[in-house]
A = this chain, B = another copy of it.
């Protein structure tokens, strides 16, 4: 393969997610395999602007496939949103002889890459790394599968104590704008009700459901609430609301928080990351740019970054129905 690209940068950006290290490893090793140099860029766009670079060979990514977080660190960077910031970053990349980059991150990180590509005709490929699974153009984002397992394992523990005391728990999971984690983990954890940002089920319906649940002989209940739940109440307000209207229930709240972002990636996320890293480097070497690698029907596909950014993932209506049937 004769490509004009001789040195590829790789970095992680935005919120971290399990599988990012596996993706870095894959990009680095694919470069080694293809005899292209690879450079790690620390702390995303921030490190890019500071020239915080480190050459990476195949051995430099030993034993990271199973580690959560990102060895290249991540950051959110406001300065890169300005033309001046991007100019500085471009200079640093040129200086280091970097011809192209692979960005592992979410929406915001892709937007930056796309603008940078347009301004400097700099080849960029994105790999979707976020636990939220909210990127258009891929059925799964890196870290989503791991986060779901983390959530259901935590709720399995909570259920132990909930059913020992016949209690009702509200468990808040991540998902400010999208309910994918809440819906999938809710079904997986056998939740009695799932509140997500996409749908307002209404508080009356929640009360009805809880009443029915009690009547049907259930001794305990778990309600999953996405951060951005559309009822407009946060999880503590929900507790108060329910205790007021259904005093029969002894309600507890658990906010799972940042542990959802960490942990050793699941096998699925490790494999997906490995596949995406190969695809990303290959795309760059084939002269492609401004694309995001995604997976659909278990095959890798490429989607223009602007589509990935503008598109919206939809909540799965079939799964919502499954959820409802399961709480019979």
Identify the A interface with B (CB < 8 A).
12, 15-16, 18, 20, 25-26, 29-30, 32-33, 58-59, 62-63, 65-70, 73-75, 139, 145, 148-154, 156-166, 169, 184-185, 187-190, 216-219, 252-255, 257-264, 266-268, 270-271, 274-275, 278, 296-300, 316, 318-319, 321-322, 325-326, 328
Contacts and interface: CB of A to CB of B under 8 A. Distances in A.
B160 A262 contact: yes
A262 B161 contact: yes
Contacts of A154: 154, 259
A260 B157 CA distance: 8
B164 A74 contact: yes
A157 to B, nearest CB: 3
A12 to B, nearest CB: 8
Contact of A319 (B139, B188, B271): B271
Chain A binding surface, main DSSP class: helix
Contact of A267 (B68, B161, B188): B188
B166 A326 contact: no
A270 B188 contact: yes
Nearest to A28: B328
Contacts of A300: 318
B263 A156 contact: yes
A258 B158 contact: yes
A73 B165 contact: yes
What are the 3 A-B residue pairs with the smallest beta carbon separation, nearest first? A160-B262, A157-B262, A68-B160
Given A69-B159, A74-B165, A158-B257, 18 more contacts: A12-B164, A25-B190, A29-B326, A59-B218, A63-B190, A68-B157, A69-B161, A139-B298, A148-B268, A157-B258, A157-B259, A157-B260, A157-B263, A160-B262, A189-B270, A274-B326, A275-B319, A297-B298
